[in-house]
Chains A and B, each alone.
Chain A
């Protein structure tokens, strides 16, 4: 096992209370595997990702408990200095918004080589050559000539390619992609996703893909973790999730994706209501106020994540051995 996350809890202590952004999340990841973490905005996906790098700003945030095992070692116990040798090197991250992720006052060549020089003991010249190779690899035309260009001279899609080149510059074991295509238009989205999965095969990295879009999960992910209000509500292989979803929330998310291969529906469905404030999470199952299958027990008892078939976990009172009882 390359990465094991056990019972991770990241809370933020702010004036009006405690935000339980990540509340007991566990998952694991192997080399070459892709895990998709899916959920609405504010479900704790990004905080989960940042916690894996121990990049929570303290205060107000704090990783309360749990472990992040990278090849068996709990990196949450590492010193800041050893963490720096992991960040960008063994675990790299692509951020959501490429327009603000690159420093506007340094050339992109500088920013990519900087990562390489931080982690690898090679000369500046070699690092620059490597950067050219990386930029070529992610499909930036005239890579050598663009080394000395600044971020504002690139389009959004090209900037995200630079970010990907930067993230892959040290051949990381794990690549975290936090909504890598949210800020991009649809055609660019497809190109970037194709690029990521292509490079994954080449480097045999593991990918954690964070998204709110079930549409892009199918083509990329091996396993899916669905998060709601800081908790994992369903965790399974991608096929199981698509064919036998075992949580009303997962079901709702999937219904809200437009599909081209189905006859046109009257109206695109959506999940009623909005995600709860993480300070004031509803008692019992935090999804119950929005759930059409909610019964009494859902309002009182927090459901446990249980294995309903081998490798398929769901946290719902209404789920039995045969899947979601009500469907």
Chain B
């Protein structure tokens, strides 16, 4: 197990090289001159030249890339062209907000998705099942920003029970609406997958054996069926956390949440290469780590899977 994890972590190196190269090249291909973004319109060519030289923007891309990677190896994520402050500081400021919001959203997704999936599978074709099917369809179809605004209007403005913007003092009340909005689509998907996975499992022979053993229906569903049915759902939940952190831009915008999604988005618009690179790299790390956690958690859910063992799987 330890060897397997070490091996997986070593895979970070080629991934980081690949990801940085792609982002670097993409930023170069994009039209627009980062130097121009820094000055007012109508700045003289001399000024632009000075800026280019200051930030090394006049060098070929591979020299810039080499320099960037060299600094990265020394723990230096570079300095934001736009904000004139170290990228690492920006990461430290915004990432925790995003991660915290994503974790709350993930909990909502897991609890609501798994629970409604189980209920609609066990009570198949019942009123509850139909209700879950209809509401998940609506959730998936609804644009996130619109759903977010609905939440703001109803809970914030009409009933005035929850704050609708910003993080305030950081109390849990500020998390509720953005987390629900962020979790909405994924919760619907989780519920659907949980339902179909559960339906498949409760038809298995060992479930009938469990019934013939005299176990209660509750124990059969929550012990024998659930652990088997969870396997595909865990994959989704693990990868969802990454998406919830990095792609929350709509939710962050509607709720004025100081998260990393907006930072990356604005940095792309402003050709702020160091910020885009730094923030994306962290996201890549998070994804790799989540993937690893998902894979390791499989071994606890399904004993037939042994990591690093070629015979199994």
Interface residues of A (CB under 8 A from B): 53, 55, 80, 83-89, 92-93, 95, 97, 100-107, 114-115, 118-119, 150, 152, 163, 166
B303 engages A88 (CB within 8 Å): no
Q: Which of B209, B217, B227 contacts A101 (CB 8 A)?
A: B209
Q: Which of A84, A102, A103, A104 contacts B216 (CB 8 A)?
A: A84
A103 engages B213 (CB within 8 Å): no
B206 engages A92 (CB within 8 Å): no
Minimum CB–CB distance for B309 against chain A, Å: 12
B214 engages A105 (CB within 8 Å): no
Residues in A with CB closer than 8 Å to B302 are: 104-105
Known contacts A104-B302, A105-B303, A150-B304; is-contact A93 B212 (Cβ 8 Å)? yes
Q: Which of A95, A102, A115, A163 contacts B214 (CB 8 A)?
A: A115
Q: Can you show 27 pairs from A to B with CB atoms below 8 A apart? A: A53-B212, A55-B208, A55-B212, A84-B215, A85-B214, A87-B211, A87-B214, A88-B212, A88-B213, A88-B214, A88-B215, A95-B205, A100-B204, A102-B209, A103-B224, A103-B228, A104-B206, A104-B228, A104-B304, A105-B227, A105-B228, A105-B301, A106-B224, A107-B303, A115-B213, A118-B215, A119-B214
> Chain B, 218-240, contact with A by CB distance < 8 Å: what is the 0/1 string?
00000010011000000000000
B228 engages A114 (CB within 8 Å): no
Minimum CB–CB distance for A123 against chain B, Å: 19
- Identity of the chain A residue whose Cβ is nearest the Cβ of B204 in the assembled complex: A100
- Identity of the chain B residue whose Cβ is nearest the Cβ of A81 in the assembled complex: B216
Interface check B112, CB cutoff 8 A: no
Q: Top 3 nearest A-B pairs by Cβ distance?
A: A88-B214, A87-B214, A88-B213
Interface check B210, CB cutoff 8 A: yes
Residues in B with CB closer than 8 Å to A83 are: 214
B214 engages A86 (CB within 8 Å): yes
- Identity of the chain A residue whose Cβ is nearest the Cβ of B206 in the assembled complex: A103
Minimum CB–CB distance for A21 against chain B, Å: 16
- Identity of the chain A residue whose Cβ is nearest the Cβ of B225 in the assembled complex: A103
Residues in A with CB closer than 8 Å to B224 are: 103, 106
Give bound CA distance, A89 to B206, whole Å: 17
Residues in B with CB closer than 8 Å to A119 are: 214
Residues in A with CB closer than 8 Å to B209 are: 93, 95, 101-103, 163
Give bound CA distance, A85 to B228, whole Å: 26
B214 engages A89 (CB within 8 Å): yes
Known contacts A55-B212, A92-B212, A93-B212; is-contact A101 B303 (Cβ 8 Å)? no
Point out which of A55, A102, A104, A150 has the most chain B C-beta atoms below 10 A from its C-beta: A104
Minimum CB–CB distance for A82 against chain B, Å: 10
Give bound CA distance, A86 to B211, whole Å: 11
Residues in A with CB closer than 8 Å to B205 are: 95, 97, 100-101
Residues in B with CB closer than 8 Å to A150 are: 303-304
Give bound CA distance, A106 to B216, whole Å: 17
Give bound CA distance, A152 to B206, whole Å: 13
> Chain B, 268-305, contact with A by CB distance < 8 Å: what is the 0/1 string?
00000000000000000000000000000000011110
Minimum CB–CB distance for B278 against chain A, Å: 41
Interface of chain B, main secondary structure = helix
Known contacts A97-B205, A152-B303; is-contact A103 B214 (Cβ 8 Å)? no
What size tier do the contact residues of chain B reach? 20 to 34
A114 engages B213 (CB within 8 Å): yes
Residues in A with CB closer than 8 Å to B228 are: 103-105
Residues in B with CB closer than 8 Å to A53 are: 211-212
Minimum CB–CB distance for B271 against chain A, Å: 51
Known contacts A100-B204, A150-B304, A152-B303; is-contact A114 B215 (Cβ 8 Å)? yes
Give bound CA distance, A181 to B147, whole Å: 58
B303 engages A102 (CB within 8 Å): no
Give bound CA distance, A311 to B302, whole Å: 52
Give bound CA distance, A235 to B206, whole Å: 32
Give bound CA distance, A87 to B224, whole Å: 17
Point out which of B209, B224, B227 has the most chain A C-beta atoms below 10 A from its C-beta: B209
Known contacts A105-B227, A105-B302, A150-B303; is-contact A95 B215 (Cβ 8 Å)? no
Known contacts A101-B205, A105-B227; is-contact A84 B214 (Cβ 8 Å)? yes
Minimum CB–CB distance for B222 against chain A, Å: 13
- Identity of the chain B residue whose Cβ is nearest the Cβ of A170 in the assembled complex: B214
B303 engages A104 (CB within 8 Å): yes
Q: Which of B206, B208, B214 contacts A118 (CB 8 A)?
A: B214
Interface contacts beyond A88-B215, A95-B205, A114-B215: sample of 15 additional A-B pairs, CB < 8 Å, sorted by A: A53-B211, A55-B208, A55-B211, A87-B212, A92-B213, A93-B209, A95-B209, A97-B205, A101-B209, A102-B206, A103-B224, A104-B304, A106-B224, A119-B214, A152-B304
Residues in A with CB closer than 8 Å to B216 are: 84
Residues in B with CB closer than 8 Å to A89 are: 214
Minimum CB–CB distance for A211 against chain B, Å: 18
- Identity of the chain B residue whose Cβ is nearest the Cβ of A115 in the assembled complex: B213
Residues in A with CB closer than 8 Å to B213 are: 87-88, 92, 114-115, 118, 166
Give bound CA distance, A118 to B216, whole Å: 9
Give bound CA distance, A281 to B210, whole Å: 33
Give bound CA distance, A102 to B208, whole Å: 10
Minimum CB–CB distance for A175 against chain B, Å: 11
- Identity of the chain A residue whose Cβ is nearest the Cβ of B304 in the assembled complex: A152
Give bound CA distance, A100 to B203, whole Å: 11
Minimum CB–CB distance for A282 against chain B, Å: 31
Give bound CA distance, A163 to B210, whole Å: 11
Give bound CA distance, A193 to B279, whole Å: 66
A103 engages B212 (CB within 8 Å): no
Residues in A with CB closer than 8 Å to B303 are: 104-105, 107, 150, 152
Q: Which of A85, A86, A101 contacts B206 (CB 8 A)?
A: A101
- Identity of the chain A residue whose Cβ is nearest the Cβ of B226 in the assembled complex: A105
Minimum CB–CB distance for A108 against chain B, Å: 11
Give bound CA distance, A75 to B212, whole Å: 14
Point out which of A80, A84, A103, A106 has the most chain B C-beta atoms below 10 A from its C-beta: A103
